[in-house]
Structure 1
């Protein structure tokens, strides 16, 4: 299995887990402090989960669960159960690492964003039904995909700069074929898509790929505690075969399933025409069964309102909702990315503080990994969880210096949330949904 790699640039050393690289560069030694397992967060695991879909916990320290927020001990136990398997797995897997340990580390923390790091890792474990080896491989491939697709370019360049590089990018935001507005009945951010506005020939496939990454990365910034997933709603009422774009469908499926696992809460396909039935027969086998189970079809307002309240639905669309405000793209504001582009002491402090928290979390994880009994890990677990909780506030403090403004920043839909109260975190680890 290999991630999609269009648009890859540059050359990278190939790090093999079992031998030297093709360029004569030896991989990091297992004993080296910069080995992959220490370069980005990798939990220690000591045994397999008891069940096929969810682990069972027998910590012998139930009093700790009530003293830590979000069932942190349970989440910690779920991760730590896996350590013994991972240690022999990396050298035995004969896995060829495409990038340096530092690049994986940077990609991982970029992916974490404002989440608790355990929440990010648990997404991959749940997606692979608690199979540690498969989850680890999935995580590595997802990080390689982020590097290859240059996700940082999308979040740092800004909409106008992306349009200059990939003509047609901006028009995709202006025509309203994909927008964020409102939320579903579960409180999840709502992404509205109108495929009838998509012309496969109006822009390059690369421009569509960059838009897809932009949309997913924007969606993750809209998650508010304790929500970890989004809802997607397709208005298929005016869809025709001229809108069909198979390369984009395949790219988006791969991104959603393999690179952003457990982000989709539900996908509602509304008023699909009869011709979509043939298309669905082709798409359906491509989907992971878990993703396929999240896709619902509705044909009328009553069915749709089981998922989304009418006041969250646009009136001038097939949704027949009550929201009369039309979508309007707000142009970028001069110097809106000044904090990102210009050096400053405040920028250095914010980025340094985030890096300090990352390294502290890694260090505490390594200490925790080395402790054999959970009963002796209580203090480390608590300190580690407190650091993980504070990382959201630190990430948001650095966000204006590391990410370009989007139309949703200008609309006020994305803004720095107030600091989380002690003991509460936006994305506290959960063992399952």
Structure 2
């Protein structure tokens, strides 16, 4: 019997409205207007809130009520506490438009810049004032959260800085594996392996953001969203971590908007449903609509094809088992080649300047017409980033697996017939 003969997978129809390559003239005008406002911020022509909201730092990440539930309303469910300046610690950072411009280009990596900003515009229903505020906050957040170190430091260096970082990968607590037929990468979170006291809160925080950033590397050019599978097999109250839940929701609502394709809650036990009654009302309706509940593997196979799921545990058809492949000596030697790195960074900045120049010319007349030259330059970003990546990014587990190499995403499945 062939592997797909009894497939129960139901392929979703992904929306195209407001997506790159499918913009109406009116939506393109909105995009042009957004770029006008963004450049005014980057160039220092328009004042903006230069401080980081207190929810970034100076917050108690693990604030909880006495019963382990989210904190009371006075601090907010996302743990919004006092700003650092209010707590007597270091003053709150202030950001310049130039800093945010630089961070924007680091965020873009191999993507079309329009793809990035359109996610924020759609998330705020095409209300440009709201979208701009959201986008600027996300850029500030990336600076305050030091996301660059998660890219530049090796597994070993991250483990030295954040105790038990490698252990999170070694035990397979959370990882990226495979993609659905639409190219959406899948992130698996094994909640039964998580116990809040087993590692510092900062370690799980950093590991979560590390996985988010790795997820961007395995997004092919034809996909914008990811699938998250929360495996709640053998889940108990001792596996619950409100700090992680807050971060997960905050990321997909505010900092990686329009990135969650579907969140599968798999094999939720009875004890989970009491927690869900606390979580659901606090979710953005758009994010909440992405949650799907599968009681068993047969139901999971309707969301993800069996040939893309491991035989072990999920009764899939893929003969694969998670294994952490540790770093090897010399895998990051390219990062020591300062001359080559500077050469590639100079090349990159020239590409960015070209895109900026063409875009500035394009937005002078908000006519709703696309600019093919911008699209051609954007294509060069992916190719150039693939060549530059070994010099600016430490080798990840996914490169060692052979998945994310030279800008290409290549998942392999050892499919067994039933």
Q: Can you list the C-alpha shifts for 1:302-339, whole angstroms capped at 9, x where unaligned?
A: 2111111112112222x222223221100101111111
1:118 aligns with 2:72: no
* 1-structure distance, mates of 2:271, 2:24: 50
How far residue 93 of structure 1 moved from its aligned partner, in angstroms, is: 7.7
How far residue 394 of structure 1 moved from its aligned partner, in angstroms, is: 1.2
How far residue 96 of structure 1 moved from its aligned partner, in angstroms, is: 3.1
1:325 aligns with 2:277: no
3-state SS of paired residue (1:387): helix
**What corresponds to 1:7 in structure 2?**
none
Structure 2 counterparts to residues 245-260 of structure 1, below 5 A = 245-260=241-256
**What corresponds to 2:215 in structure 1?**
219
**What corresponds to 2:179 in structure 1?**
183
3-state SS of paired residue (1:114): coil
3-state SS of paired residue (1:266): strand
Quick check: 2:355–2:377 contact (8 Å CA) kept in 1? yes
TM-score (normalised: structure 1): 0.75
RMSD over aligned Cα, in angstroms? 2.6
Distance 1:83 1:161, change over 3 A: closer
**In structure 2, which of residues 28, 31, 41 is the aligned counterpart of residue 79 of structure 1?**
31
Quick check: 2:34–2:132 contact (8 Å CA) kept in 1? no
1:370 aligns with 2:321: no
**In structure 2, which of residues 50, 64, 77 is the aligned counterpart of residue 96 of structure 1?**
50
Q: Can you list the C-alpha shifts for 1:241-280, whole angstroms capped at 9, x where unaligned?
A: 1111111111221122111111111111111000100111
Distance 1:101 1:110, change over 3 A: same
Q: Can you list the C-alpha shifts for 1:162-188, whole angstroms capped at 9, x where unaligned?
A: 100010111001101112212224331
* 2-structure distance, mates of 1:55, 1:283: 29
* 1-structure distance, mates of 2:31, 2:132: 12
TM-score (normalised: structure 2): 0.78
1:155 aligns with 2:145: no
Distance 1:82 1:165, change over 3 A: closer
How far residue 342 of structure 1 moved from its aligned partner, in angstroms, is: 3.1
**What corresponds to 2:21 in structure 1?**
70
**What corresponds to 2:415 in structure 1?**
none
**What corresponds to 2:392 in structure 1?**
402
How far residue 416 of structure 1 moved from its aligned partner, in angstroms, is: 1.3
Distance 1:243 1:372, change over 3 A: closer
How far residue 234 of structure 1 moved from its aligned partner, in angstroms, is: 1.5
Structure 2 counterparts to residues 136-285 of structure 1, below 5 A = 136-285=132-281
Q: Can you list the C-alpha shifts for 1:363-402, whole angstroms capped at 9, x where unaligned?
A: 1111122235467xx7xx2222211221111111111111
Q: Can you list the C-alpha shifts for 1:50-75, whole angstroms capped at 9, x where unaligned?
A: xxx9679xxxxxxxxxxxx9357856
3-state SS of paired residue (2:187): strand
**What corresponds to 2:342 in structure 1?**
348
3-state SS of paired residue (1:181): strand
Distance 1:417 1:162, change over 3 A: closer
Q: Can you list the C-alpha shifts for 1:86-141, whole angstroms capped at 9, x where unaligned?
A: 79999898623421233212211111111100000001001111110111001111
Which sections of structure 1, spanning at least 5 residues, go unmatched?
1-52, 57-68, 420-433
Distance 1:145 1:363, change over 3 A: same
Quick check: 1:109–1:358 contact (8 Å CA) kept in 2? yes
